[in-house]
A = this chain, B = another copy of it.
Amino acid sequence: MDAIDIVCVNEDDAAAGEALKARVLDTPTAERLAALFTALSIPTRVKIISLLLEHEVCVHSLETALGMTQSAISHQLRFLRDLKLVRARKEGRHVYYALDDDHVRQLFAQGLLHVAH
């Protein structure tokens, strides 16, 4: 195997520069990865996800639980919906949200382990 431990390319070594560029994660993948992690990058969405881990919850309940305006919650839910991380189920005048992605549950759990020291 050709594992390199220390990388420090020389300014005028074009070949080494190109080799290094080839090792960077490609931009489209980096962007999609970043978008995924953005979902959990603010406390509001972290809290929303924390409530959806085990239950299906209606918007008004999230509003009550987080102590934020209905509009703010709705906008964040739309954000998560666009990323296909949550799904909405309409029932009468309520809309119930639930996690629609097990990876997020796993990321959340993994992150929590880290933060828990």
Residues of A within 8 A of B (CB): 3-9, 11, 17, 20-21, 23-25, 27, 29-34, 36-43, 45-47, 50-51, 54-58, 60-61, 64-67, 94, 96, 101, 103-104, 106-108, 110-115
Contact of A20 among B17, B31, B39, B61 (CB under 8 A): B61
Other 15 A-B pairs with CB < 8 A, given A4-B54, A32-B115, A107-B111: A3-B55, A5-B56, A6-B56, A7-B55, A7-B61, A21-B67, A23-B50, A25-B47, A27-B43, A29-B112, A30-B50, A34-B41, A37-B37, A37-B38, A110-B110
Interface of A is mostly: helix
Q: Are B33 and A112 in contact (CB under 8 A)?
A: yes
- CB pair B113–A103 under 8 Å, yes or no, is yes
